[in-house]
């Protein structure tokens, strides 16, 4: 398939979707007004804290829940009337839900015999598909085993193979790695990403783990309290968070208060703590005199000797050894505290002593203006 065409085809379109559980006037509002486009062949992640509505959205795409208002299109078609088993969609759950009395091969075949998505397959075709899927997840050797004879990671791979076996157009994954230990989870991230790329199936992945989202996704939608906060590539979300929630939820960040002193040619200049100038930012939506927060990641702040030109004066309050990095806690003139992270250099003369004065420097491109 032509790559440009594939990027532009929409797999799932969520249009003005609102979801209220129970009484539509007084029930709990799970989703307020969601608009999202998920492209064909994309690894798309719904990321947000517990209760933000991720699972509700996934269950509506699968057909287990219905929007109170709005519509969901699958490849351009409104699927409101289609029951779950008639949608070209399958789900991998956090708990593998394999049949304990069947072998791994039988678990996969069972789902294909019941004609998912309206397709009828012959016995030979089913056998072939089972082999193909077990090979995809590197589990051919285990075809004859029962689920309880497999490790958690192996069971999760089987659950993935079973969900992929009917060749869905869209695979929904509801926190599928959360039951695994850290090392296995990290290994499975790479495997999942590779399987998605190999099959070309659109993956919609739900997680509250920002690292998981950043490492696997083509694009991420960050949700909070039933609303989309930002949609973008991992680097967009991390480097240019749109608001305080996204900046704080994804990775670690520092907030520096600044008052706008000048706006010109798409740039805004700020006075930081104690009136020190901060690097200008691309932002034309601000008025002179407004106070906003800038978000700067710890690794984008650089410590320089006290008195260096253009640096924000600070004091070193603490130094923490993190192995690969050194982390400093510094205080500014207004008492606010920031975190600075630098690669751990063998050159000890590069280190700053606790209690000493220093300067802080950051580039214009390293800060994001947070508009709310």
CB of 146 to ligand ATP, least distance (A): 29
Q: How far is the CB of 27 from ligand ATP (least distance, A)?
A: 7
Candidates 43-51, 68-76, 213-221, 272-280; binding stretch for ligand ATP (CB under 6 A)? 43-51
Neighbouring residues of 97: CB distance < 8 A, sequence distance ≥ 6 = 159
Contacts of 108 (CB under 8 A, 6+ apart): 129, 130, 133, 134, 158, 161, 162, 165
Using CB under 6 A as the criterion, what x/- string covers residues 13-32 for binding ligand ATP? Answer: --------x------x-x--
Q: Among residues 162 and 208, whose Cβ is nearest to ligand ATP? A: 208
Number of residues that bind ligand ATP (CB under 6 A): 12
Identify whether the C-beta of residue 362 lies closer than 8 Å to the C-beta of residue 314. no
Q: How far is the CB of 173 from ligand ATP (least distance, A)?
A: 13
Question: Which residues, numbered 202-231, are part of the site for ligand ATP (CB under 6 A)?
Answer: 208
Site mask for ligand ATP (CB under 6 A), range 278-307, x = bound: ------------------------------
| CB closer to ligand ATP out of 72 and 136 | 72
CA-to-CA dists, residue 359 to 3, 90, 330, 332, 346, angstroms: 48, 54, 10, 10, 21
Whether 289 and 303 have beta carbons less than 8 Å apart is answered as no
Output the CA–CA distances (angstroms, integers) from residue 193 to 164, 199, 216, in the order listed: 14, 10, 6
Query: Which x/- pattern, by CB under 6 A, does the window 44-83 give for ligand ATP?
Result: ----x-xxxxxxx---------------------------
Beta bridge partners of 360: 303, 312
Instruction: Give the residues lining the site for ligand ATP (CB under 6 A).
Output: 21, 28, 30, 48, 50-56, 208
């Amino acid at each position: 398939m032509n790559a440009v065409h594939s990027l532009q085809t929409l797999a799932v379109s969520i249009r003005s979707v609102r979801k209220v559980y129970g009484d539509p006037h007084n029930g709990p509002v799970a989703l307020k007004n969601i608009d999202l486009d998920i492209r064909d062949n994309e690894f798309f992640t719904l990321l947000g804290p517990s209760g933000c509505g991720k699972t509700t959205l996934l269950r509506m795409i699968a057909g287990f829940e219905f929007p109170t208002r709005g519509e969901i299109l699958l490849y351009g078609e409104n699927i409101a009337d289609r029951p779950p088993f008639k949608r070209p969609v399958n789900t991998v759950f956090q708990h593998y839900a394999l049949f304990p009395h069947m072998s791994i091969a039988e678990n996969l075949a069972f789902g294909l015999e019941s004609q998912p998505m309206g397709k009828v397959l012959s016995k030979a075709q089913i056998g072939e598909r089972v082999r193909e899927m077990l090979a995809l997840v590197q589990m051919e050797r285990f075809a004859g085993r029962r689920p309880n004879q497999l490790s958690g990671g192996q069971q999760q791979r089987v659950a993935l193979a079973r969900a992929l076996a009917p060749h869905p157009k869209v695979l929904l994954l509801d926190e599928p790695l959360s039951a695994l230990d850290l090392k296995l989870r990290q290994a499975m991230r790479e495997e999942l990403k590779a399987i998605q790329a190999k099959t070309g199936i659109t993956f919609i992945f739900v997680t509250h783990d920002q690292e998981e989202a950043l490492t696997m996704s083509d694009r991420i939608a960050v949700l909070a309290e039933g609303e989309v906060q930002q949609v973008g590539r991992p680097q967009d979300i991390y480097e240019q968070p749109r608001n305080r929630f996204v900046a704080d939820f994804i990775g670690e960040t520092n907030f520096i208060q600044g008052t706008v002193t000048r706006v010109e040619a798409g740039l805004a200049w700020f006075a930081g703590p104690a009136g020190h100038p901060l690097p200008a930012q691309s932002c034309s939506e601000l008025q002179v005199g407004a106070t906003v927060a800038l978000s700067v990641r710890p690794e984008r702040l650089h410590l320089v000797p006290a008195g260096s030109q253009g640096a924000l004066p600070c004091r070193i309050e603490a130094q923490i050894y993190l192995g690969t990095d050194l982390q400093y806690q510094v205080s500014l003139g207004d008492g606010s505290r920031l975190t600075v992270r630098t690669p751990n250099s063998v050159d000890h003369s590069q280190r700053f002593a606790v209690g000493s004065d220093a300067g802080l420097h950051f580039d214009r491109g390293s800060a994001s203006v947070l508009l709310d």
